Structure 1
């Protein structure tokens, strides 16, 4: 998704997701920074956070600001972000979607919004996986991941102290917007 090789449909879906990013936005698990850089270029104060040094370097190269940090580590502006972005299924980081949403809630100011990309309706409930990155030249370490279906996100959000405001969809990509419950 996103990036130079992304389809037109994915680029439009990214824009749909970002339309709700008004005010200071933290992008948790920013990866190579396509969204963080897009926000900065649109004049939005944005910070990417990723546990990968390479991802942070790529974000900075694209014109974004980013920190090399675990999303659960101390972050600037904690409790004062207007938006917390969890793109590309990052609600499932560590296989703990409730913990990730609780962390997002901690980072938000009281009237802020979490925008999380969730799985389509074909994913029932929450599914847990062990994954690893594999390329022609590299095989990464295994890590735990969770996929949260759009039909399950309200229950997961409620457990984390959030409530779903609405869900946006484009080209079978779903974006749940949540606020403090």
Structure 2
């Protein structure tokens, strides 16, 4: 597979400004905060430990891959812990992320990761066995329905999508966000969204998907989706 870079003009998670996300991935001020640009308060998410994204997958992460079919595509993969976890299970796995820093770290670790948006050209379209949208990545692009539609196009006929959702089932919010670290360094603004499982069900139906399972594990909430 050729790893070609695709540039996009879309503002993306944690990029621009003081680049706190890139710094956190390189062990500087690992705790990050997601804010609406119109508020000094967090937009519903707890502080994010970027160090966890760079660490090995934990037991909860590994449980998401139980029974998973390959190939696996991790959308917004960061440094690639879920790509590694899938490979450790003998699955073919690829990550995609817009952060050059995250992709550089993943490639240095020997992982197959593409530096592009999920809305750009993705190999094996329509054949992926498992798609992952964890760590809040259902928020990518600020429009969960558009992202779910894109995932539906990527999934194989019997494929499944695993989404990490808000702990509040009814929660749904879209906003212009920014990432800030503990030193007060901020990124440029970018579109983002949060969604709970009840709202996810409605959005899924609109794009030909359905929620087949939802569960809570270790304080995190997840849903499994398949074609209707």
Q: What pairs with 1:2-81 in structure 2 (closer than 5 Å)?
A: 2-3=52-53, 11-81=58-128
Kindly provide the CA deviation profile for residues 144-181 of structure 1, in whole angstroms up to 9, marking residues without a partner as x: 11101122221111112100110132022111111111
CA contact (8 A) 1:37 1:63 kept: no
Look at both structures and tell me which one has the larger radius of gyration over its CA atoms: 2
How far off is 1:137 after superposition?
8.0
Kindly provide the CA deviation profile for residues 11-59 of structure 1, in whole angstroms up to 9, marking residues without a partner as x: 2221222224321011111112111121122221010001111111122
Kindly provide the CA deviation profile for residues 47-79 of structure 1, in whole angstroms up to 9, marking residues without a partner as x: 000111111112223332100011101110000
What SS is found at the alignment partner of 2:83?
helix
Q: How many residues align?
A: 177
Label 1:120 to 1:104 Cα distance change in 2 as closer, same or farther (>3 A): same
Distance in 2 (CA, whole Å) between partners of 1:11 and 1:91 is 20
Which is worse superposed, 153-162 or 15-24? 15-24
Q: What pairs with 1:67-106 in structure 2 (closer than 5 Å)?
A: 67-106=114-153
In the superposition, the TM-score normalised over structure 2's length comes to 0.72
CA contact (8 A) 2:94 2:113 kept: yes
CA RMSD of superposed structures (Å): 2.0
Give 5+ residue unaligned stretches, structure 2: 1-48
Distance in 2 (CA, whole Å) between partners of 1:113 and 1:147 is 20
CA contact (8 A) 2:54 2:79 kept: no
Q: Relative CO higher for 1 or 2, CA cutoff 8 Å, sep ≥ 6?
A: 2
CA contact (8 A) 2:62 2:85 kept: no
